[in-house]
Amino acid sequence: MAKITRRNFLQFSTSLGLATGFHQLMPIATQAIGQGKNNINNDPNIIKLSISKTPFRIGKQTGTAVTVNNSLPAPLIRLKEGQLATIQVTNTLKEDTSIHWHGIILPANMDGVPGISFAGIKPNQTFTYEFPVNQAGTYWYHSHSMLQEQEGHLGAMIIDPITPDPFEYDQDYVILLSDWTFENPHSVLAKLKKMPSFYKYKRRTIAHLGEDWAWRGMRMDPVDIADVTGLTYTYLMNGLSPEANFTGIFQPGNKVRLRFINGSAMTFFDVRIPGLSMTVVQVDGQNVQPVTVDEFRIGAAETYDVIVEPQAEAYTIFAETMDRSGYARGTLAIKEGMTAPIPERRKTPVRTMVDMGHDHGDHSNHSQMNHDMPAVDHSQMNHDMPTVDHSQMNHDMPAVDHSQMNHNTTLDTTPVMHGPDHHGLGNAAVPMMVKNRLGEPGIGLENSERKVLVYTDLRSLEPWPDQRKPDRELELHLTGNMERYMWSFDSKKHSESPEIDFYYGERLRLTFVNDTMMEHPIHLHGMWMELDNGAGANKPRKHTLIVKPAEKCSVEINVDAKGKWAFHCHLLYHMHTGMMRTIVVNT
Amino acid sequence: MKLTKTSFGITLLISLASILPNQSAINAQELNLSQISKNIKNTADTTPANNYFSDQMILSEDNNINDQNTVGAIHELPLLTGNINQDINVTVNDLLAENISQDNHDHHNHQDHENHKNTSEPLDKPNQSDDQDHHKSNNSDEENLHLHFHDNAIYSFFLVDKFEYKTENSLHWDAVGWIGGDYQRLWLKIEGGVSLDNRAGEAEIQVLYGKLISPFWDLQLGVRYDQHYGGDHNPGRGFAVLGVRGLAPYFVEIDTALFISHEGDISARFKAEYQLPLSQKLILSPNLETNIAVQEVEEFGIGSGFNNIKLGLRLRYEISRQFAPYIGISWEKLFGDTANFAEAEGENTDHVSGVVGLKFFF
């Protein structure tokens, strides 16, 4: 065993990073070096990345991954705020590739989305990304071509700030979570198209027929949690399976910064470190007022930076999937080779009537509620479902504990009726009631004895300079038809409704209404979404936001980036089957 | 692995050589090694005082980051750093054309605004349409971006729903497949049976165009052809088909259609099936089928009115979602003239059989 001190760490790790790929190195094919640039071959400021197919082994099974510099996850790219980033990407695959820098504000032609930002990187071609780095924090990068992100083309990016972080820490680790399947992802998608419930974990049996009766009447499944599950996935932490056990070594008494990144294709993880509370200091790379929690949910593409102060010898870093079909796991320990117990697995949660859009608000009002709802003529709605008999529904929900709620908000969580527009064939059903659910922890985390992070806990460290009221509002419905595994916005796939216009200079209020029964992590390229979570002037900035089933919530966007930007659900197979738009920002 | 300075140097040399654009074999002289190592030292020196990295990083024997066999392999991911280069190349400046105001910079900077004094002048955000020179150094066809949509791809499915042996000593099959997109598909349905006693049987095939008319329902239009075989008289006939297939509330799978034969004889069929998981792998599946005919068609043993009713109950075990053997029972009763025609042929008009078969799809 060799010990590396900080002084020669960088020298060592650089060579290590390259040496690790060495014996798996495939010859880089003839590449077209960028023209018009001096010193590009020998300029040490250029980051050089090569995309190729590399064997990838977990335990006894070997598959083929799409890797960057022969490593999965891709190498950590560390930049400094204020620099000019120059990243040269060579494609040695037989198909096009691309790299999108997730969460980075940059020129539209550097955003890396084929067909929107640029033409993509053809086989044997080299593309040089160049953009000024005007932000700091934890981000990540991944392919935006085909299903390569699922094949392992993803990595972490850290941008060190010019002024030091407003929080202290002694050590720093990236915790990059991902999902790996030995199946060809195109075959996974084909199976979802043939049988959307193919990978469903723990389907409902005859034992639950009575409870599920109302669901079945609506052709809905109360355990519709995740489309692709532990039945095919191995969940990785920094590229290592739970058995391989990524280990972060800490020195007792140190504060450790953990940069959690969810680089998965289809997975929501619930992260906790039993025995250790975590202080959330950054979300999506942006400073937030510190909030200490025991557990947080991280959706695909989100990042959370936490500070922990470990006291004991070893802790398990536990990231259980939202549907409880598997977990990613690592260890935080004082020395190599230690492990801590893996916590007891939780049961697959079941959807509630709120997810279905049948929450009629505070239960004390039930007696006053007029279920006939004369204001809305249901007979004219094409509900495609039998009249809902409320008397048979199980409305018993556990008492809401107001003492744990963050009440310093002006967030309106009153349920509102969904409008009459059903949106069409691409939408299986609409929830009757939608409401703001930013203050809820999410399915499977309700009524936890632990403190779970909710979106209403997030407040940006400083108020943003632009506090204009929005100029206009745009409402987008998140829609889907599970029977045909079609996902869309307003019931239209990307191919059916390619573009949405944003106007340069406006402040836009974008309202999401999730008509589906699943959570979607919605991602906007190129611009920040300021989440209207009741924090007023301190709205937190997000590049990716989880919108819960039957939720209606809003973000505000300063439209200050010209060009075309991708906007989509970050669940890879949802994006690929239509849940995407091109945002066009013109003057 | 014990690291000495020499082995470290060699590793560094070889690995750096392999990653730089270098078509030939490793040639140390082609590398500007001193420049590279100087760069690395610079980076180490500029690392801020608060230590971002773990003071100690312990490596295991096997440095293969992709080999999962070793517990606790690499603790820190491989590092690539772009250095701050105060001396920006002039050609790069030319490529970054447009200035944006300081106000816009503020929107992107998560810290507060004094930081801008550290950024060099040329680091302004370029406008994509002005970036002509930049385009030339990369792809030349960026102006005419063609967006390929992946969401209207063609998929296919073929399900052999029943492929079974019936205890009345016959074989039966019932399969369906489609190929197409999300709204329009071409469907193929085949169904048939053969008696193992006398090798006589009948088979039908339908080819249909299906269009999604509501989220759960497909309207299907096409043709059907029936053929009897193995007997003394083997008639065949064709039909036009108009049907609806989909999922009714409570997850009842429905397939119903109206048929008009080439002779103008009208008939209809109704099929319903339900899946009831008893456990994660054991699924009970009841099904029902009934046929009605308007006109009597003696040649095919069809009477006017209700022809038959079939009820089945099959229990399958899903070895995988795609492959399940099953056992079950099947009951069929014939009515009216259909029953009479059958009796005249010496066939059963009300019979129960056991079935054993396979259900699979691909």
Using pLDDT thresholds of 50, 70 and 90, give the confidence band for residue B134. very low
Q: Which of A120-124, B54-58, B209-213 has the lowest mean pLDDT?
A: B54-58
Q: Which strand (E) or helix (H) includes residue B131?
A: none
- The residues pairing with A90 across neighbouring beta strands, listed in sequence order, are A50, A126
Which 3 state secondary structure label does DSSP give A241? Answer: coil
Alpha-carbon span A99 to A68, nearest angstrom: 10
Query: Is residue A171 a contact partner of residue A255, using CB atoms and an 8 Å limit?
Result: yes
Using pLDDT thresholds of 50, 70 and 90, give the confidence band for residue A214. confident
* Cα–Cα separations (whole angstroms), residue B340 to A50, A285, B94, B295, B345: 77, 79, 93, 15, 9
Nearest CA distance, A584 vs chain B (angstrom): 13
**pLDDT higher than 90, residue B253:** yes
Closest CB to A219: pick one of B68, B138, B247. Answer: B247
**What pLDDT is stored for residue A459 in this prediction?**
97
- Residue A416 touches partner B, C-beta closer than 8 Å: no
From first CA to last CA, the distance across chain B in angstroms is 49
Q: Which of A14-18, A49-53, A525-529 has the lowest mean pLDDT?
A: A14-18
* Per-window interface: A 82-111 vs B, CB < 8 A: 82-87, 90, 105-109
Whole-structure pTM value: 0.79
What mean pLDDT do residues A361-390 have? 39
Residue A521 CB neighbours (<10 A): 21
Alpha-carbon span B78 to A377, nearest angstrom: 62
Using pLDDT thresholds of 50, 70 and 90, give the confidence band for residue A424. confident
- Residue A374 touches partner B, C-beta closer than 8 Å: no
* Cα–Cα separations (whole angstroms), residue A478 to A350, A490, A507, A568, A574: 21, 6, 22, 10, 11
Query: Is residue A72 a contact partner of residue B66, using CB atoms and an 8 Å limit?
Result: yes
Using a CB-CB cut-off of 8 Å, the residues of chain A touching B53 are 6, 9-10, 171-172
What mean pLDDT do residues B115-123 have? 35
Using pLDDT thresholds of 50, 70 and 90, give the confidence band for residue B324. very high
Alpha-carbon span B344 to B301, nearest angstrom: 10
Percent of chain A exceeding pLDDT 70 equals 83
Q: Which strand (E) or helix (H) includes residue A507?
A: strand A507-514
Asked whether the beta carbons of residue B50 and residue A169 sit closer than 8 angstroms, the reply is: yes
pLDDT digits (tens, 9 = 90+) for A541-586: 999 999 999 999 999 999 999 999 999 999 999 999 999 999 999 8
What mean pLDDT do residues A279-296 have? 98
**pLDDT higher than 80, residue B247:** yes
Cβ-Cβ pairs closer than 8 A, A with B, add up to 425
Using a CB-CB cut-off of 8 Å, the residues of chain B touching A168 are 50
Alpha-carbon span B209 to B221, nearest angstrom: 5
**pLDDT higher than 50, residue A100:** yes
Asked whether the beta carbons of residue B136 and residue A35 sit closer than 8 angstroms, the reply is: yes
What mean pLDDT do residues A221-245 have? 95
Tell me which residue of A223, A213, A222 sits closest to A393, measured CA to CA.
A213
Asked whether the beta carbons of residue B52 and residue A54 sit closer than 8 angstroms, the reply is: no
- Return the structure tokens found at A67: 């890797």
- A135 Cβ contact partners less than 8 Å away, ≥ 6 residues apart: A81, A104, A105, A159, A285, B108, B109, B110
Using a CB-CB cut-off of 8 Å, the residues of chain B touching A250 are 54
Q: Check residues A165 and A32 and name the one with the higher pLDDT.
A: A165
**What pLDDT is stored for residue B77 in this prediction?**
53
Angle at CA A173, nearest 5°, toward A170 and A177?
A: 155
| Residue A118 DSSP label | B
Q: Check residues A416 and A436 and name the one with the higher pLDDT.
A: A436
Alpha-carbon span A15 to A129, nearest angstrom: 23
Angle between the B33-46 and B5-19 helix axes, to the nearest 10 degrees?
100
Alpha-carbon span A149 to A492, nearest angstrom: 24
Using pLDDT thresholds of 50, 70 and 90, give the confidence band for residue A18. very low
- Residue A439 touches partner B, C-beta closer than 8 Å: no
- Return the structure tokens found at B8: 């470290």
* Per-window interface: A 112-171 vs B, CB < 8 A: 114-116, 118-122, 125, 127-128, 130, 132, 134-137, 146, 155-156, 160-164, 168-171
Alpha-carbon span A319 to A322, nearest angstrom: 9
Q: Check residues A362 and A330 and name the one with the higher pLDDT.
A: A330
Alpha-carbon span A353 to A433, nearest angstrom: 10
**pLDDT higher than 90, residue A392:** no
**pLDDT higher than 80, residue B256:** yes
Using a CB-CB cut-off of 8 Å, the residues of chain A touching B16 are 15, 18
- Residue A569 touches partner B, C-beta closer than 8 Å: no
Alpha-carbon span A515 to A428, nearest angstrom: 9
Using a CB-CB cut-off of 8 Å, the residues of chain B touching A198 are 321
What mean pLDDT do residues A386-391 have? 38
- Return the structure tokens found at A151: 């094949």
**Dihedral of the alpha carbons of A380, A386, A387, A393, in degrees to the nearest 10:** -150
- A372 Cβ contact partners less than 8 Å away, ≥ 6 residues apart: none
A485: alpha, beta or left? (left if phi > 0; alpha if psi -120 to 50): left
**What pLDDT is stored for residue A218 in this prediction?**
86
pLDDT digits (tens, 9 = 90+) for B70-97: 333 333 455 555 443 322 232 233 333 3
B59: alpha, beta or left? (left if phi > 0; alpha if psi -120 to 50): beta
**What pLDDT is stored for residue A38 in this prediction?**
30
Asked whether the beta carbons of residue B147 and residue A238 sit closer than 8 angstroms, the reply is: no
Percent of chain B exceeding pLDDT 90 equals 55
Asked whether the beta carbons of residue B16 and residue A15 sit closer than 8 angstroms, the reply is: yes
What does DSSP say about strands B217-229 and A472-481: parallel, antiparallel, or unpaired? unpaired
Using a CB-CB cut-off of 8 Å, the residues of chain A touching B150 are 146, 576-577
**What pLDDT is stored for residue A9 in this prediction?**
39
pLDDT digits (tens, 9 = 90+) for A458-477: 999 999 999 999 999 999 99
Residue B320 CB neighbours (<10 A): 9
pLDDT digits (tens, 9 = 90+) for B180-203: 999 999 999 999 999 999 899 999
**pLDDT higher than 60, residue A33:** no
**What pLDDT is stored for residue A550 in this prediction?**
94
Tell me which residue of A56, A53, A50 sits closest to A66, measured CA to CA.
A53
**pLDDT higher than 60, residue A527:** yes
- Return the structure tokens found at A334: 């004082």
What does DSSP say about strands B217-229 and B201-214: parallel, antiparallel, or unpaired? antiparallel
Tell me which residue of A442, A514, A437 sits closest to A475, measured CA to CA.
A514
- Residue A22 touches partner B, C-beta closer than 8 Å: yes
**pLDDT higher than 70, residue B67:** no
Using pLDDT thresholds of 50, 70 and 90, give the confidence band for residue B145. confident
Asked whether the beta carbons of residue B92 and residue A130 sit closer than 8 angstroms, the reply is: yes
Taking CA–CA distances from B150, the nearest residue in chain A reads A576
Q: Alpha-carbon torsion A378, A379, A385, A388, what sign? A: positive
**Dihedral of the alpha carbons of A127, A128, A134, A139, in degrees to the nearest 10:** 50
What mean pLDDT do residues A465-491 have? 95
Asked whether the beta carbons of residue B37 and residue A481 sit closer than 8 angstroms, the reply is: no
Using pLDDT thresholds of 50, 70 and 90, give the confidence band for residue B144. low
Query: Is residue A417 a contact partner of residue A435, using CB atoms and an 8 Å limit?
Result: no
Q: Which of A185-189, A353-357, B26-30, B346-350 has the lowest mean pLDDT?
A: B26-30
* Per-window interface: A 458-517 vs B, CB < 8 A: 462, 464-466, 481, 483-484, 486, 493-495, 498
Residue type, position B192, single letter:
G
What mean pLDDT do residues A64-86 have? 95
Using a CB-CB cut-off of 8 Å, the residues of chain B touching A87 are 82
DSSP string computed for A244-285: T-EEEE--TT--EEEEEEE--SS--EEEEBTTB-EEEEEETT
Using pLDDT thresholds of 50, 70 and 90, give the confidence band for residue B340. very high
- Residue A210 touches partner B, C-beta closer than 8 Å: no
What does DSSP say about strands A246-249 and A278-283: parallel, antiparallel, or unpaired? unpaired
Q: Which of A473-477, B41-45, B340-344 has the lowest mean pLDDT?
A: B41-45
**pLDDT higher than 70, residue A372:** no
Which 3 state secondary structure label does DSSP give A462? Answer: coil
Asked whether the bond before A73 is cis by omega within 30 degrees of 0, the reply is: yes
Rounded to the nearest integer, the mean pLDDT of chain A is 85
Using a CB-CB cut-off of 8 Å, the residues of chain A touching B11 are 15, 19
What mean pLDDT do residues B328-344 have? 94
**Dihedral of the alpha carbons of A550, A553, A557, A562, in degrees to the nearest 10:** 10
**pLDDT higher than 70, residue B98:** no
Using a CB-CB cut-off of 8 Å, the residues of chain B touching A5 are 55-56
Asked whether the beta carbons of residue B152 and residue A125 sit closer than 8 angstroms, the reply is: no
Which 3 state secondary structure label does DSSP give B235? Answer: coil
- Residue A17 touches partner B, C-beta closer than 8 Å: yes
Percent of chain B exceeding pLDDT 70 equals 60
Taking CA–CA distances from B85, the nearest residue in chain A reads A83
- Return the structure tokens found at A580: 């995407």
**What pLDDT is stored for residue A464 in this prediction?**
92
Asked whether the beta carbons of residue B284 and residue A241 sit closer than 8 angstroms, the reply is: no
Q: Check residues A520 and A386 and name the one with the higher pLDDT.
A: A520
What mean pLDDT do residues A182-199 have? 97
Asked whether the beta carbons of residue B138 and residue A128 sit closer than 8 angstroms, the reply is: yes
